Amino acid sequence: MLSTKIPLLLRSLIGRLVRIAIASGVTYQTFDRLLRQTYFEVARDFEPLGDKPNSDSRISVLTGLPRREVRTLRDASPDQPRGTPSLEWQVLSAWTSRLDLLDAEGNLRPLPRTQRRGGEQSFDALVASVGSDVRARTVLDEWLRKGYARLDEEDRVVLTPRSLLRGTESQEGAGRLLAHFTGDLLAGFERLYLQDRAAPDFTFHVVYGHNLTQDSTLSLYQIAYDESMQLLNRLNRLVVEHEACDAGKADATQRITLGFGGCRVEQCRDAGLVQPRED
C-alpha cells in the first residue's frame, strides 16, 4: 500500500529538480521524456525475479507504462557513456588523492610551480600526470585569473579555500557530486524506511533553525563550514591511506560517501519542509 507521505516527499524532491530544469531551459516535454526513460531504466534492473532480467510485462506492472511503450523505450535505451570530467576537475581530484601532496591534517600542500624546483611534487608534474594535451601554465593562468589559486612568495601554487572553488569544480562537477551524495542518501532512506532493512552503513543527521538574523546564520554557517572542512580533510587523507592499503585485495569491493552540506535562506522565499520549533 502506498504511504500517503511518499507523494509529499516526491513532490518536494521533484519540485527542486523542476526549478533546476526551468533555470536550465529544460522544457516540460523534455523532462517528461527523461522521466519516462528513467522510470524504464530503473524498473529494468529493479529486484529481478530468479536472477532473470525483468520482462516487458513486469516493467509495465512496476511502472504503469504500457507494454508497447516499454518495448519502445527498451529499443531506444543504449547504455549511456559516462561524461569525461573536466581537466580542472581531474587536476583537483589528483591533488586530493596523493598522500605526498597532503599534510598530516589532510590539507592540500602548496606546490612548487615548476618541475625543476618541485620534481614530482610540483604543479607542472601534477597537471602532466592528468594529461599532456594542456600545459600546466595554461591551467594555472586560468586559476589565477578566476581567483581559484595564488602564488606565494616562494613561487608555490596555493589553492584558495574550497568555498571559492565552485568554478573549479564547475557546474558539471558540482552537479556530479551533488547527484552522487544525495543519491546515496536516498538509497539509504529507501533501504531503512521503505524496505524495513537494517542499514548500519547509512546515517544522516541534521541541525536546523528558524527566525534567525542574517548575522546569526552567517556565524553559524561559518562555524559549521570551518569545523566540517577540518574533519573532511582528515577523512580524505584517511580514505587515500586506506585505498593504498587495500589496493589489490580481492575483497576490496566497497565504496564510501561522507559529506557535509548546509544552506541558509530567507524563510519567506523558501520555507522548507521542517517547521520552526514551538515556544
Amino acid letter at 49? L
Residues 189-208: pLDDT tens digits?
A: 888 888 877 777 888 889 99
pLDDT of residue 157 exceeding 80: yes
Q: Which residue has the cell 516526491?
A: 10
> Higher-confidence residue: 117 or 199?
117
Residues 72 and 103 reside in one and the same domain: no
Residue 3 lies in a domain: yes
Residue 235 lies in a domain: no
Q: Which residue has the cell 591534517?
A: 105
Query: Given this model, what pLDDT does residue 89 score?
Result: 81
- Looking at the structure of the chain, the number of domains it has is 2
**Are the beta carbons of 91 and 126 closer than 8 angstroms?**
yes
> Higher-confidence residue: 93 or 66?
66
> Higher-confidence residue: 79 or 276?
276
Query: Given this model, what pLDDT does residue 1 score?
Result: 45
Residues 43 and 65 reside in one and the same domain: yes
Residues 63 and 101 reside in one and the same domain: no
Query: Given this model, what pLDDT does residue 193 score?
Result: 83
Give the integer Cα–Cα distance in Å for 245 and 188: 27
**Are the beta carbons of 237 and 105 closer than 8 angstroms?**
yes
Query: Given this model, what pLDDT does residue 75 score?
Result: 87
Strand 111-112 relative to strand 149-151, pairing: unpaired
Cα distances (angstroms) measured from residue 185 to each of 63, 156, 180, 191: 23, 38, 9, 10
Residues 99 and 159 reside in one and the same domain: yes
Q: Is 102 helix (H, G, I), strand (E, B) or coil?
A: strand
> Higher-confidence residue: 187 or 77?
187
Query: Given this model, what pLDDT does residue 164 score?
Result: 45
Cα distances (angstroms) measured from residue 33 to each of 55, 73, 226, 253, 279: 21, 10, 42, 34, 47
Residue 245 lies in a domain: no
Residue 165 pLDDT level (bands cut at 50, 70, 90): low
pLDDT of residue 111 exceeding 60: yes
Query: Given this model, what pLDDT does residue 212 score?
Result: 95
Which of 140, 167, 194 is a domain's end point?
167
Q: Which residue has the cell 510485462?
A: 57
Which of 57, 80, 103 is a domain's end point?
80
Residue 265 lies in a domain: no
Which of 80, 104, 139 is a domain's end point?
80
Residues 138 and 74 reside in one and the same domain: no
Domain with 146 in it: what CATH number? 1.10.10
Average pLDDT of 140-167? 81
Query: Given this model, what pLDDT does residue 69 score?
Result: 94
* Confidence (pTM): 0.79
> Considering only 168-182, 204-218, 222-236, 259-273, which range has the smallest mean pLDDT?
168-182
Residue 275 lies in a domain: no
Residue 249 lies in a domain: no
Residues 56 and 93 reside in one and the same domain: no
Residues 71 and 134 reside in one and the same domain: no
Name the residue among 236, 256, 258 with its Cα closest to residue 94.
Answer: 236
Residues 114 and 156 reside in one and the same domain: yes
Residues 99 and 72 reside in one and the same domain: no
Residue 238 lies in a domain: no
Residue 268 lies in a domain: no
- Classify residue 8 as left (phi > 0), alpha (psi -120 to 50) or beta: alpha
Q: Can you give the residue range of the structural domain that contains 41? A: 1-80
Query: Given this model, what pLDDT does residue 254 score?
Result: 94
Residues 92 and 141 reside in one and the same domain: yes
Residues 107 and 129 reside in one and the same domain: yes
Residue 251 pLDDT level (bands cut at 50, 70, 90): very high
> Considering only 44-58, 136-150, 162-176, 248-262, which range has the smallest mean pLDDT?
162-176
